[in-house]
A and B are shown apart, each in its own frame.
Chain A
């Protein structure tokens, strides 16, 4: 990151100004709206969310009696859990692929994270509150993904996430081995085999061992039938917790996906794609394969809407933006829902976010407004208090 020298001078002033403008961290917030989606299957009409210290302290129709929160009324709007991107490179591809070697399972995407990258800034405007920054698919074993939140702290959150592998075309490079899919498959098979037999040591083997033990999920970038089939073979032979990323031809391996309980992270759905591609989310849902939407952040909501247009039910579509990606990243305790104890990450739209004529109003991360606006009117304290006293 580069900052101009004036930043150093202005920083304390800005910080002070920010403190004045922001509500004190300790002050609770009480938001209300016509519809509050607590989780994809639980919707509250005319409900309220109490935010305390960045977390959801209460969701319901009545306000707790002791609440002295600052009250904000979003009127007819809909509040939904913040969207989670289960796979993203956020414009940092060049720093997320070690080009000298094809096999770098122990590299950490967290080390490449630039919190001021320009592609990170617009994420909240699209309702996205968290993303898995993932090694690029140019390496057969790229490394370990990191959880990124789009809030004001801009930090990398908590522990590292899954191991990112790739059998997709970008992982085959004519200037370094492996140049072919056969070679890429063999490289992974041998590495897992050697680790399983205890013949491999070192930090890369340690990561593979976690994958073999099931303590670390394995995301595999794969598109064609042969790539997906090879990934599923690896998952079966080594007992991996498998998530397939991009998975263009997932429709051809549906029975295996269901049988092996693998999940899918879909790339951006394009309206001009073949019908089979547009219907893929519906087919995945029918087969009982968990999946989520990812790809270009600005088109995330459109992907979900297109899937709904081609037969996916709205509840599953919303799950695929919130709960499922949170689950794939092992973050259901804090992300993907507005239940008590979860992070206060949510987006506000004028209507159902799966209707593309619903406009984005605001996005809040960890209880702080990061995009959009606060409502023009505050909730009437008297009414709220009355409800709270009841």
Chain B
């Protein structure tokens, strides 16, 4: 594509912003549409109005009279990508409350900065929705939220303020904790856990206390109010999904064991050793978040967690029918989300599966598939116009639309 035509589409798209704001229909014509969760549509038509998708289909799809049209011949349109584990949006220190190890009621939403540069980087990779969880330094970190990566009003960007409860296995939550060795005797870091055993003890104790409070609540004197315990009770009642970060084989097994012990639903996050425990994951019917499939090293304190990532893990999970979602996760070595999907496809899974793993699959997992995750009438008009097929290494997100509005690329 020449430079001239490459910039033509964004220019046309920018001029449609005002129309979108007025609720007037805009039709994107001639693109190859990958709607998410369905077969590709060649020479497709996408009609949006009032921030919502009005119609999506093949060449014969009716375009409302008076609709503005944008020629997208040669382009590919996909739903806005969804990163189900996104590191960014807030200062890391603010996502990790070190005052206690178990802080189930703390909300990641409270420290999100809508102007964080990570949102702009995600947008450039075609990501329109992210799930931000508290950090990985606590055993039970708190509540994750789902937000869009851009929007006129910060409050309107929030899709879910409490979408998940983050639990972390492995060595990372015990980092920094210590026994008194001549330092400050009043240090808050003089505490459990300092080992994997201690991490598991903290999780088990928290859920044990929450379950006991639930069982006692009928007829017994009410326990003193505890917002943390109320969150855990929601997990135990199946109203909230736990996202357990477990990278190595032993941590994944532990995460599954604890979830089974207390009977709560969990997602296994950053499961880099998932290929080793595929049978257990399949049996437990859990969804797996693959944090940065391209990363050759483990996130967090790599040597301590001892996982050995394999590039073919995504393919293996796909073959075994284990539901999974591709994310960037907490790994500093992560590429952007579309490149991670490309990498997964490069290592043996189908292109359609790789795209679903960053669109409709995370939407269903997070319970936002009624709003986004695929291109279907009635859903939010969150979509990306790509210069090439999005899994092509040369693909560029020429324009990213959220609620029908093109997001300025200069952000």
Contacts and interface: CB of A to CB of B under 8 A. Distances in A.
Interface of A: 172, 174-183, 185-186, 190, 199, 224-226, 229-230, 252, 255
B225 A226 contact: no
B218 to A, nearest CB: 22
B93 A180 contact: yes
Interface in B86-104: 90-91, 93-100, 103
B110 A179 contact: no
Given A174-B98, A190-B227, A229-B154, A179 B113 contact: no
A340 B91 CA distance: 52
A182 B184 CA distance: 25
A173 B225 CA distance: 26
A182 B108 contact: yes
A184 to B, nearest CB: 9
Contacts of A181: 90-91, 94, 110-111
B97 A182 contact: yes
Interface size class of B (residues with CB under 8 A): 20 to 34
B93 A225 contact: no
Given A176-B99, A182-B95, A186-B105, A226 B188 contact: no
B115 A182 contact: no
Given A175-B188, A176-B99, A225-B114, A182 B93 contact: no
The 3 closest A-B CB pairs, nearest first, are A177-B99, A183-B97, A179-B98
Given A177-B100, A225-B154, A172 B110 contact: no
A178 B188 contact: no
A176 B188 contact: yes
Given A175-B187, A175-B188, A224-B113, A180 B98 contact: yes
Interface of B: 90-91, 93-100, 103, 105-108, 110-115, 134, 142, 153-154, 184, 187-188, 225, 227
B188 A182 contact: no
Nearest to B106: A182
A183 B227 CA distance: 13
* Interface of chain A, main secondary structure: helix
Nearest to B92: A180
Contacts of B94: 172, 180-182, 226
A38 to B, nearest CB: 42
Given A190-B227, A199-B225, A225-B115, A178 B187 contact: no
Contact of B111 (A177, A180, A199): A180
Given A172-B94, A225-B154, A182 B134 contact: yes
B90 to A, nearest CB: 7
Given A224-B113, A225-B115, A252-B115, A179 B97 contact: yes
A177 B97 contact: yes
Contacts of B153: 255
Given A225-B114, A225-B115, A226-B113, A183 B99 contact: yes
A99 to B, nearest CB: 11
Contacts of A174: 93, 98
A249 B110 CA distance: 16
Of the listed residues A174, A178, A183, A230, the one surrounded by the most CB atoms of chain B closer than 10 A to its CB is A183
8 contacts: A175-B187, A180-B98, A181-B111, A182-B103, A186-B107, A226-B110, A252-B114, A255-B153
A186 B138 CA distance: 16
Contact of A226 (B99, B112, B142): B112
> Which residue among A176, A181, A255 has the maximum number of chain B CB atoms within 10 Å of its CB?
A181
A176 B100 CA distance: 10
A14 to B, nearest CB: 48
A186 B100 contact: no
Nearest to B99: A177
A178 B99 contact: yes
Contacts of A226: 90, 94, 110-113
A199 B224 CA distance: 10
Contacts of B184: 175
Nearest to A197: B225
B98 A177 contact: yes
A225 B90 CA distance: 11
B96 A225 contact: no
Nearest to A100: B186
B154 A183 contact: no
Given A186-B105, A225-B154, A226-B90, A180 B114 contact: no
Contacts of B98: 174, 177, 179-180
A199 B91 CA distance: 33
A185 B161 CA distance: 15
Contacts of B111: 180-182, 185, 226, 230
A179 B93 contact: yes
Contacts of A230: 110-111
Contacts of A190: 227
Contacts of B97: 177-180, 182-183, 186
Contacts of A186: 97, 103, 105-107, 110, 227
A189 to B, nearest CB: 9
B93 A183 contact: no
Contacts of A252: 114-115, 154
A183 B107 CA distance: 9
Contacts of B113: 224-226
A175 B134 CA distance: 19
Contacts of B103: 182-183, 186
Nearest to A255: B153
Of A182, A185, A224, A255, chain B has the most CB atoms within 10 Å of the CB of: A182
Contacts of B114: 225, 252
Contacts of A182: 94-95, 97, 103, 106-108, 110-111, 134, 142
Contacts of A176: 99, 188
Contacts of B105: 186
Nearest to A185: B110
Among B91, B99, B103, B113: residue with most chain A CB under 10 A: B99
A305 to B, nearest CB: 29
A179 to B, nearest CB: 4
B95 A180 contact: yes
B119 to A, nearest CB: 12
Given A177-B97, A183-B106, 7 more contacts: A174-B93, A186-B103, A186-B105, A226-B110, A229-B154, A230-B110, A252-B115
A179 B227 CA distance: 19
Contacts of B110: 181-182, 185-186, 226, 230
A43 B166 CA distance: 62
Contacts of B154: 225, 229, 252
A181 B93 CA distance: 8
